[in-house]
Amino acid sequence: MIKKILGAIALSLTCATAMAAGESITLDKAPNRLNDQAALQNGAKLFINYCLNCHSATSMRYNRLRDIGLTDIQIRENLLFTGEKVGDLMTISMDRKDAAAWFGAPAPDLSVMARAKSINAGPPGGDYIYTYLRTYYRDTTKPTGWNNLAFPNAGMPHVLWDLQGPRELTTTTIHQVERDGKQVWEKVETKFGPQGYWDAKAEVLDNYRGSATESFAFKALDPRRAAAYDDKVADISNFMTWMAEPVQLKRKQIGVWVMIFLGLFLVIAWRLNASYWKHVK
Mean pLDDT by 10 residues, the chain (281 residues): 42 35 65 94 96 93 96 94 91 87 87 84 75 94 90 88 96 91 93 94 91 93 96 97 91 92 94 86 63
CA distance 207 to 52: 52
Provide the domain limits for residue 44: 2-171+187-201+221-246
Burial of residue 167, with CB atoms counted within 10 A of its CB: 0-12 exposed, 13-18 middle, 19 or more buried: buried
* Residue 15 marked ligand-binding: no
Residues 192 and 270 in one domain: no
Q: Does a structural domain hold residue 108?
A: yes
Q: Same structural domain for residues 149 and 33?
A: yes
Q: Are residues 238 and 253 in the same domain?
A: no
- How many angstroms from the chain centroid is the CA of residue 119? 13
Rounded CA-CA distance 165/60 in Å is 31
In this prediction the pTM is: 0.80
**Is residue 212 domain-resident?**
no
For 16, 131, 275, the CA distances from 151, given in Å and listed in that order, are 10, 12, 64
Both ends of the chain: CA-CA distance in Å? Answer: 60
Per the domain annotation, does 215 fall within a domain? no
In a shared domain, residues 105 and 229: yes
Quick one: 238 and 268 in the same domain? no
Binding residue per annotation — 54? Answer: yes
* Same-domain check for residues 193 and 263: no
SS3 197: coil
For 21-94, where are the E strands, in sequence order? 57-61, 89-90
272 and 193, same domain (yes or no): no
Question: How far apart are alpha carbons 47 and 216 in whole angstroms?
Answer: 27
User: Is 126 a domain residue?
Assistant: yes
- On whether residue 214 sits in a domain, the answer given is no
- State whether 191 and 262 are in the same domain: no
Whether residues 255 and 135 share a domain: the answer is no
Q: Give the pLDDT confidence score for residue 120 in this predicted structure.
A: 60
Answer yes or no: are the C-beta atoms of 129 and 114 closer than 8 Å. Answer: yes
Pair 188, 200: CB distance under 8 Å: yes
In a domain, 17, yes or no: yes
- Is 180 inside a domain boundary? no
Report d(CA 221, CA 227) in Å as an integer: 11
Answer yes or no: do 165 and 268 share one domain.
no
Domain tally for the chain? 2
Residue 22 placed within a domain: yes
How far is the C-alpha of 264 from the C-alpha of 271, rounded, in Å? 11
55 is in an annotated binding site: yes
Together in a domain, 22 and 136 = yes
Helices (H), 185-247: 223-244
Residues 154 and 227 in one domain: yes
**What CATH number does residue 116 fall under?**
1.10.760.10
| Residue in 235, 195, 246 with CA at minimum distance from that of residue 50 | 235
d(CA 45, CA 274): 59
